[in-house]
Structure 1
Amino acid sequence: MKIRLTTIYVDDQERALRFYTDILGMAVKADFSNGPYRWLTVISPDEPEGTELQLALNDNPAAKAYQQAMFQQGQPAVMFYSDDIKGDHERITARGGQFSMPPTEVTGSTIAQLNDTCGNLIQITQLARW
């Protein structure tokens, strides 16, 4: 088995699309509507056949409560891995991303967190080289 799709809820799909493509540098994999529903996914340009991240509209009360609680507790909704977290931090900051935690060394890795402007915290992790 493989993981092909994971979902995060966003409070605005257009704003999320701009953040994940313009700020983080991801690419659109799918974007189509069926009536009022929009299926929107992005991927890493480094892995065009890799795992898709669905940016689902947060119109489900249970999902919205979960999303808000995770954000208030400072828990990331998703984690991305980087081979150059300091370079990614500089690139994302230059594009307007706002980090709540700059690259910080912790046991076994360096992590950074930023707000996706759509109700989620995003963690970027670079594993330590042993």
Structure 2
Amino acid sequence: MGADPDSYKIFVAVDRSGWAVTSLCSNGMLPVCDDVLKLLPQLSAVELGSVEESGEVVVISARSRAGPAACTGCGRISDWEHSRYVRHVADEAVGGRAVRIDLSVRRLYCENPACPKTTFAEQVDGLTVRYQRRTCLD
């Protein structure tokens, strides 16, 4: 990354939907988002919100992208949103520091009347699996 780690700054702007969009920049000028995605490629499937230090942990806030998802009960595709909630997913350490991803995911309605599930939580490919608390490792 080239610059002194203490000189990195996070710039936050709010997009039209009210979600904070950030850029991690060195010396206030050079975006290093591509470098972050090289270290944590599983984050390419989500919208990054912020990156913060919380003691010995790097906390990354992210949000799943809008779009249809398959019901975990019957497989039917739905984009009818019920609500959102935050999953706290542990990731591999980077530079000796633990990483936690606070991921806002959607709970969707299943539109199949024969399905036993009324709602289901979306999964983010390469990042989450049902009931898993750590990111997927391939």
Task: Output the TM-score relative to the length of structure 1.
Answer: 0.28
Which structure has greater helix proportion? Answer: 1
Higher relative contact order structure (alpha carbons within 8 Å, sequence separation ≥ 6): 1
Bigger-Rg structure (1/2): 2
